[in-house]
Amino acid sequence: MDDLDKLLARVRSYNPHTDADLIARAFDYGRAMHEGQFRRSGEPYFTHPMAVAGILSEQQLDDSTLVTALLHDTIEDTKSTYGEIARRFGSEVAELVDGVTKLTNLQLSSTETKQAENFRKLFMAMAKDMRVILVKLADRLHNMRTIKAMSEDKQHKKARETMDIYAPLAGRMGMQSIREELEDLAFHVLNPDGRSSIMRRFITLQRESGDVIDKITGDIRAVLDRAGIAAEVQGRAKKPFSIWRKMEEKEIGFSRLSDIYGFRVVCETEAECYAILGAIHQRWRAVPGRFKDYISQPKSNGYRSIHTTVSGRDGKRVEVQIRTRQMHEVAETGVAAHWSYRDGQRVHNPFAVDPAKWIASLTERFDSAEDHAEFLEAVKLEMYQDQVFCFTPKGEVVKLPKGATPLDFAYAIHTRIGDSCVGAKVDHIRVPLWTRLKNGQSVEIVTAEGQRPQATWIDIAVTGRAKTAIRKSLREEDRSRFIRLGLELARVAFDQAGKRMSDKALTAAAKQLGLKASDELLARLGAAEMTTREVMRTLYPELAHAREEEIDASKAVVGLLPDQAYHRGDCCQPVPGERIVGITDRGKGVRVHAIDCDALVDVEDHPERWVDIAWHAGTHPPIHSVSFDLTMANGAGVLGRICTLIGEQKANISDLRIIDKKPDFWRLIIDVDLRDIEHLHTLRLALEADSDVATVDRYRAPARGRQAAE
């Protein structure tokens, strides 16, 4: 009973009135149910639920959540049932255990369509009771701490899912300590060499400069003592992944990286926060552009703190966070602070966000997403956002994610304002719509009657709200055009298959694919949101097994005149499966661009040059060159293995250029010949999975784009 005694002692330290009998009964029941089960490490399985409960007790959570942690795998992995859990421990616990079980069965890293649907289920579960996701995060944290017992393939899959989904979700919920640990554990699996490199440099830095953290902590305490302010000062080195991410974003080496140490000052009152800020700025020079006041403008997850960066000891940049004790509790536990206990009572923290309101703000626009891709995009935008605060001309505050543009600002005010936007003024100066807004700026939107959203706005906008509104408007405007193009694509596909196209066949296909009518099916075909291959295989499953002949490269594009030739734009390198548009070249045929190509901006005012085209449905030969921007470890045999990996994916390397050499990593551009967008995604996934590949992105050259559209 030693483990149970430790758990109860920890719970009693913050909740003396805990129902110890309930927790003990859950402990005995869970241990009995998992009797004879073992983890991959060889430990008894029940050590895992105990560890999850321990993690949640560190967050000072309520009895029901802790009991759920002890029982969270019983319904899935033992003979226990929902009814038995409800009878023994009550309906509240049974609902929570059932919710965690359903989350465990969700494949959040599956195909995009299924992933989007599973994300919907995830947020529905969160909306029902946020404690479900708290247990799931603790479950994932312990699994990541013990991940070495898994096979290498499963380690990579779990680590990638953790980095892409669970860590950002923890951050969005304000649970920063859990987010940082999840990121670092995943980083250790996905890029062990990169993490080791940073750790080695940390050790070298400490050897050269001594214990910098103790020295700077002492400096800050001395400043506060002179100012007569009592406060707690904490210092720490930032996590390896946080440093790695900053190096990648700024494209600089470790030696040039500043503020790798973070310091926190925790006081009692808000007034003391600003007094401490003044004392620190009097002692050290503030770094311009590195001040954020999240006390006067809190984040949506309840986070409040003052952030400032100063040039401290020996000129080293030091980030200092200043907050009250109540703010600190929310900063450490985020949304979980709503359930925290102290001295046997639920803590009323004025800064803790009401979970029901938080989840409502997170999901309010998801229902307006008309398809899986839009929903998934909206979820990820909301999960990864950091905020900036701008003002309307009347002084009203508008919260936007980092990197937002005047278009996002316009749609945040009202959809009508966004749709009719023709320009913007920032701090009374006219700026382009793609300008990135900064904290504290005043933004005025210029509108005009009759203005409609442009296709290029989708790439300018950052927020899910703006992107959804723009797409909806474009769909309404372009629907008839897409239906005509979709009809042509469908006719060609039916002819190729030797089948007769009819309204009845199209209606049947729409019904099988979950669409309301044949017009919606045709519109999606015309917009390249669905392929004719999907339609034909839905109606005629036998075609799925038929060997398809490769399409003649000269006939790969549908929608051209009989005498028109086409050329792929070097700027965006479109491949079959992507939505495309044609631009007539003077005497040179039609230049094919991806719909999101930057070069299209130059021909916005020449609609007569635009041509409605689409890729021919079917199998294309692997002749479409695509450039990848790849960062990989600088080690013996790594480049050769990467080239072999590309060959194994049935792709041919047509060119390779090393553009940056660093002691640990190389950055290079690789040109690869591919069949279509599916081939591209498959290759990219294979490269991302390699332990020596740090990043891989599709490379597009904007300079060539200007020439391509002329």
The count of other CB atoms within 10 Å of the CB of residue 514 is: 7
**97-99-104 Cα angle (round to 5):** 95
User: Which position has the token pair 């910098």?
Assistant: 212
Catalytic-labelled residue, pool 76, 248, 488, 671: 76
Catalytic-labelled residue, pool 77, 332, 444, 570: 77
Nearest by Cα to 556 from 614, 496, 498: 614
Q: Is 76 a catalytic residue?
A: yes
Pairing of strands 589-594, 580-585: antiparallel
The b-or-e profile of 294-332 (16+ CB within 10 A means b, else e) is bbeebbbbbbbbbbbbbebeeebbbbbbbbbebbbbbbb
Question: What DSSP string runs through 381-408?
Answer: HHHH--EEEEE-TT--EEEEETT--HHH
SS3 673: strand
Q: Is the CB of residue 587 less than 8 Å from the CB of residue 499?
A: no
**Rounded CA gap, 154 and 147, in Å?**
9
Look up residue 366 and give its two tokens: 């998801």
**Rounded CA gap, 336 and 193, in Å?**
34
**Rounded CA gap, 134 and 355, in Å?**
12
The count of other CB atoms within 10 Å of the CB of residue 21 is: 8
List own/partner pairs for 448-457 with CB under 8 A and 24 or more apart: 448/420, 448/422, 449/420, 450/420, 451/419, 451/420, 451/421, 451/422, 452/419, 452/477, 453/418, 453/419, 454/604, 455/595, 455/600, 456/596, 456/600, 456/601, 456/604, 457/407, 457/433
Q: Is the CB of residue 194 less than 8 Å from the CB of residue 247?
A: no
Look up residue 638 and give its two tokens: 């790594």
Q: What are phi and psi of 430, to 5 degrees?
A: -65, 130
Look up residue 425 and give its two tokens: 């003024």
DSSP element (H, E) containing 217 = helix 212-227
Look up residue 618 and give its two tokens: 């079917």
- Give a three-class secondary structure readout of 607-671: HHHEECCEECCCECCCCEEEEEEEEEECCCCHHHHHHHHHHHCCCEEEEEEEEEECCCEEEEEEE
Question: What one-letter code names the amino acid at 637?
Answer: G
Quickly list H helices, 304-456. Answer: 325-333, 355-363, 372-384, 406-413, 415-419
User: Which position has the token pair 């892409």?
Assistant: 164
Look up residue 25 and give its two tokens: 């009964």
Q: Is the CB of residue 145 less than 8 Å from the CB of residue 158?
A: no
Q: Is the CB of residue 301 less than 8 Å from the CB of residue 172?
A: yes
Q: Is 219 a catalytic residue?
A: no
**Rounded CA gap, 272 and 403, in Å?**
32
- Give burial (CB, 10 Å; 0-12/13-18/19+) of 1: exposed
**Rounded CA gap, 433 and 455, in Å?**
13
**Rounded CA gap, 429 and 91, in Å?**
60
- Give me the active site residues, please: 76-77
